[in-house]
Amino acid sequence: MASWTFLSNHAHVLLCVAADPDRTLHDIAERVGITERGVQLILADLIAEGYVERERVGRRNHYKIHPEGRLRHPLEAHHRVADLVTALGVEPATPA
């Protein structure tokens, strides 16, 4: 794997959640290439800042992204989370 990527692990986790809000921490960790604990910490950041909501459904978590959230870096702050998801061709899961 390359030593660097254009997107951060926070963006990768957000994109995984956008594509499948019921994905497990284990699955997200495998897809992103980080530990489950790393995913847990990133999700905590995203939840604390209002980009993602977590809902407990039985023994699992269901996540919901807030597409209206603005990207954090000043260079991208004029874009929304939805713009990132759309630009990268992620098909957001439709609510059941």
Contact 29, 36 (CB under 8 A): yes
Q: pLDDT confidence of 94, banded at 50, 70, 90? A: low
Write down the H helix ranges in the chain. 9-19, 25-32, 36-48, 81-87
Q: Which one, of 61, 76, 67, 62, lies nearest residue 8 by Cα?
A: 76
Distance CA 40, CA 78 (A): 27
Q: What is the pLDDT of residues 32-89, one digit of tens each?
A: 999 999 999 999 999 999 999 999 999 999 999 999 999 999 999 999 999 999 999 8
CATH of 9-88, one of 1.25.40.10, 1.10.10.10, 1.10.3720.10, 3.30.360.30: 1.10.10.10
pLDDT at residue 96 greater than cutoff 70? no
